[in-house]
Amino acid sequence: MTATLSTTRRGTTSDATGDGHLARSSTSRRHTGDAHPPRPIEAPARRGAARCVKRVVDAVAALVGLALLLPLLLVVGLAVRLDSGGPALFRQQRAGLHGREFSMLKFRSMRAEQCAPPEGRHDGAGPLFKLHADPRVTRVGRVIRRYSIDELPQLVNVLRGEMSLVGPRPALPCEVALYDDRARQRLLVLPGLTGPWQVGGRSDLDWDASLALDLGYVHHWTAATDPVLLLRTVGAVLRPVGAY
């Protein structure tokens, strides 16, 4: 689950970066992804029937998952509120398919009253802000982030059709503003609750490596890709390398 500009809304709150990501200012060098020259944006191969099946599987799995995980979601929500006060959830604007913005849900893992990120500390990759030991993260927040429990409310986003079970991680709009044409190809598919980044090292990956994984998924997806990544996600969650 970075300035934490919290706005309470119907039991939820919005963080400027939520899970610790922060795009650099507009005066920063434009992020180009890697050393390769930009390529024209090309839509991934059309696999109409398989894509339709993917959407149906997403919706059914999200609905079943929410029903089965409801007791866990309630317990985690209560733990978040008791640990630090404030809402259990927050909403955050993210860039979805073709860059369309949507409100992504997460369990709140940071103290709502602490807004400013520590100065002079940055463990992230590329334009992303990340700290191995962020002092704003709560005790419960450290646990739910380590095991990706903070991401479970995004099953609602999957059910709504704003996300998929598997895909590139949804970026902040201010990060997308720094993308070149090659990096924008991440937006050709729905962002995912899990995906290549999640199973490939998460925050330990540099930008070039994470972009290469995402573009490999975008352009080489098949119906067999998602089940493999979902199975690998189980291992990644139980052995949370790069999760902080």
Q: What is the pLDDT of residue 207?
A: 85
Q: What is the pLDDT of residue 77?
A: 97
Alpha carbon 202 to its chain's center: 10
- Of 210, 182, 216, 183, nearest to 198 by C-alpha is 210
Q: What is the pLDDT of residue 133?
A: 67
Q: What is the pLDDT of residue 12?
A: 45
Residue 237, by phi and psi: left (phi above 0), alpha (psi -120 to 50) or beta? alpha
Neighbours of 15 (CB within 10 A): 25
Q: What is the pLDDT of residue 88?
A: 95
Flag residues of the chain having pLDDT under 50.
1-40, 42, 45, 115, 244
User: What's the predicted TM-score (pTM) here?
Assistant: 0.77
Question: Distances from the Cα of 102 to the Cαs of 21, 95, 149, in angstroms?
Answer: 17, 7, 21
Q: What is the pLDDT of residue 127?
A: 53
Q: Which residues of 167-183 are buried (b: 16+ CB within 10 A; e: fewer)?
A: bbbbbbebbbebbbebb
Residues 6+ apart with CB under 8 A from 117: 2, 3, 22, 129, 131, 134, 136
